[in-house]
Amino acid sequence: MNAPTTTSELAQRAEPIIEVRNLVKRYGKAVVHDGVNLDVYRGEVLSIVGGSGSGKTVLVRQIVGLERPTSGSVRIFGEDPTRLKPSQLQALRNRWGLQFQGGALFSALSVIDNIALPLRELRALPDNLICQAALLKLQMVGLSARDADKMPADLSGGMTKRVALARALSLEPELVFLDEPTAGLDPMASDDYVALIRELRRELGLTVVMITHDLDTLVALSDRVAVLADHKVLAAAPIEEVVKVDHPFIREYFLGERAQRAMQALHQARGDGQSGEA
């Protein structure tokens, strides 16, 4: 992973395609976000981490226009999703894909029909071309035509995630949101899935926003990490910078024994010989 060494270097080499400014989100008296600011730069993998209830998924739902902020603003590809007409919003949504936690496949649809669904909803291609395109996406995520007619109930956890990813890529998006992409996978399947994401990101030039709690996935894929705590983004920087921020959540999450092992693996992969100690 060739991550930039500083946040400023990243900002200089890429444009922000997501801009979150002074975001506030409340449900009644319950405050989820209170002044969240965040940029996502073209071509990066940004991982969002935070404790339970910190509002990671709620933040993504606001970014993609599924929920309205209480106040503040979100711009994605220069547009505010909440201010667009339905046709304009659909055109904007076609530029990103979402892989939901657990896959969220439609149980009554076959693998190929799940993948083809966004294309069929778009109604821009005849059905035979839609099926061909869906098969290509299936193969792109490491599955074969033999899997096309399987039902979601017949899939392993790893296969379910790959089919969900294929569906997220069906409209050839520039931006992909991944919600806990390796949750529930065994270590080997998780490593394979991380390798797949890395390869697709390189081949397709994707920008990736990923919610994850898995340290190995976080370290293996992330250019930057955004930490949600105390209703705000505490830091959004390469992981080597994030671990220097003095906050209880960061100390607990990033500086424990498991985190040190993940950081050491990162440094070894980069060949710098550092121990990973902060």
pLDDT at 274: 44
State how far Cα 96 lies from the chain centre. Answer: 11
Cα distance from N-terminal residue to C-terminal residue, the chain: 20
pLDDT at 257: 67
* pLDDT (average), residues 188-194: 90
pLDDT level of residue 263 (50, 70, 90 thresholds): low
Cross-strand partners of 18: 40, 76
pLDDT at 100: 85
Least confident among 24-38, 47-61, 152-166, 242-256: 242-256
Three-class DSSP labels, the chain:
CCCCCCHHHHHHHCCEEEEEEEEEEEECCEEEEEEEEEEEECCCEEEEEECCCCCHHHHHHHHCCCCCCCEEEEEECCECHHHCCHHHHHHHHCCEEEECCCCCCCCCCCHHHHHHHHHHHHCCCCHHHHHHHHHHHHHHCCCCHHHCCCCHHHCCHHHHHHHHHHHHCCCCCCEEEEECCCCCCCHHHHHHHHHHHHHHHHHHCCEEEEECCCHHHHHHHCCEEEEEECCEEEEEECHHHHCCCCCHHHHHHHCCHHHHHHHHHHHHHHCCCCCCCC
| Model confidence at 260: pLDDT above 90 | no
Q: CB of 235 within 8 A of CB of 45?
A: no
Average pLDDT, the chain: 86
* pLDDT (average), residues 10-39: 88
* pLDDT (average), residues 84-101: 89
pLDDT level of residue 5 (50, 70, 90 thresholds): very low
* pLDDT (average), residues 258-274: 61
pLDDT at 89: 87
| Model confidence at 4: pLDDT above 50 | no
Q: What pLDDT, in 10s, does the model give residues 33-60?
A: 999 999 999 999 999 999 888 899 999 9
| Model confidence at 133: pLDDT above 50 | yes
Q: What pLDDT, in 10s, does the model give residues 169-178?
A: 999 999 999 9
CATH class entry, domain 7-95+173-270: alpha beta
pLDDT at 3: 42
| Model confidence at 275: pLDDT above 70 | no
Q: What pLDDT, in 10s, does the model give residues 106-125?
A: 999 999 999 999 999 888 78
Query: Residue 144 is encoded by which pair of tokens?
Result: 């074969």
pLDDT at 268: 65
β-pairing verdict for 45-50 and 207-211: parallel
| Model confidence at 273: pLDDT above 80 | no
